[in-house]
Amino acid sequence: MADRSDSRRSGVRPASSKRRPARPSSVSIEGKSGRTRRTTVPREQSTTYKLLIEYEGTRYSGWQAQSNTPKTVQGRLVAAASQTFGAVEIGGSGRTDAGVHAAGQVAHLRMNKKAAPDEIRRALNDELPADIHVIRVEPVSDRFHARHDALGRVYLYQISTRRTAFAKPFVWWIKDRLDVDRMAEAAQLIAGRRDFTRFTDKRATNESMSVEVELADVAPVDDLILVRIAASHFLWKMVRKLVSALVEVGRGTLPQAEFDRLLNDPAAAPFQPTASPSGLFLEAVIYPGEQFDRPLLPIVPVSTILGASVHRKRNA
C-alpha cells in the first residue's frame, strides 16, 4: 500500500487533503485511583513524535481513555509519558475494542519538552506494563495527527482450527470444519465502497456508514485460517461481524447469495453474531509515502509441526 497519489496500488482509499486548524487539544490521564484529569498541550509550544505501538488487549477495555474505565491502552500510555515528561497529549490512529490487540497501532505524542526518540522510547517502556510496548519513536511535523493523516487501516483476524494451549488469547477456535475456499470466494464480495450498517452495532447517527474496503483475503496457514481486511476506516465491530459471517459461509449455514444480500441490500436485517475479540489484531496503519506489503502470515502462529515431528521420531 502506497501514498495517496497511487490509490489503486496502495490498497487504501486516500484520505481528504483538508487540514484541520491547529488548536490545543486535551486528553484524559488515568491515575492510580482510576479517575481522570484533563491536560492540554498548546500546539504552538509542543514537540510532536510518532509512536509505533504493539499491545495485547486481553485485559484492557480498548484503546481509548474513558473516565469510567481505568484500564485502557491510551490511558496507560499517557500515564507513562506524563510520569517522565509532564503534560502530554497522546492520540491514536483509531479505537480498538475491549480485548482486541495491535501489532501496529500508531499514535502521536505531543509534549512541551524535546528529547531524543530512543530516550522517549526507553522512558515509556520502563513505565509501561509488559503487555504494551513502544516499538519505535520518530520526530514528525507538529501538524501530524495519527488519525486524521491516516490513509487506511489493516486488520488481521486469526481463526484456529484446533484447540490450543498457548495461543487461546490470540485466536477464535472454531470446532466445526470450515470450507476455506468457500470463505475466500465470499471474502471477494466485500471489497468496494458500500454502506456497512448491517455489519455494525453502532446506532443510527449523522456519521456516514459508508466504508471503502480495498481488500479482503482469506487463507489457511498451518492450523489457522487468516482473514485480512484493509479499508479507509472501520465501523464499530465491523471486522468481527464480517469474520463471523464468513465463518457461517464456511460452515455452510450462510449461503454466499445471502452474504451478498447482507452486503448490498439495505432492506436486509442486521447481522447479529460477532466474532470473539481475541482473534483480532490491528496489523498496520498506512500514511502518505508508506507501503504495506507484509505477506499474509500469522501474528501469533499456531502449528502442530513440532509435536508431529517429535511423535514421528518416537515411533521411528
| Distance of alpha carbon 295 from the chain centroid | 17
Our CA angle for 293, 8, 12, nearest 5°, is 60
Residue 199 in grid coordinates: 455489519
Site of grid cell 501530524: 144
**For residue 301, what are the CA distances in angstroms to 91, 229, 297?**
30, 19, 8
Catalytic residues: 97
Residue 210 in grid coordinates: 459508508
Residue 34 in grid coordinates: 482510576
**For residue 75, what are the CA distances in angstroms to 115, 135, 267?**
21, 18, 40
Cβ atoms within 10 Å of 299's Cβ, excluding its own: 18
113: phi then psi, degrees, rounded to nearest 5: -115, 160
Q: Residue 171 and residue 159: Cα distance in Å, rounded?
A: 5
Q: Residue 132 and residue 225: Cα distance in Å, rounded?
A: 26
273, amino acid identity = P
**Residues for the chain: how many in total?**
316
Residue 191 in grid coordinates: 471489497
β-pair type (224-231, 280-286) = unpaired
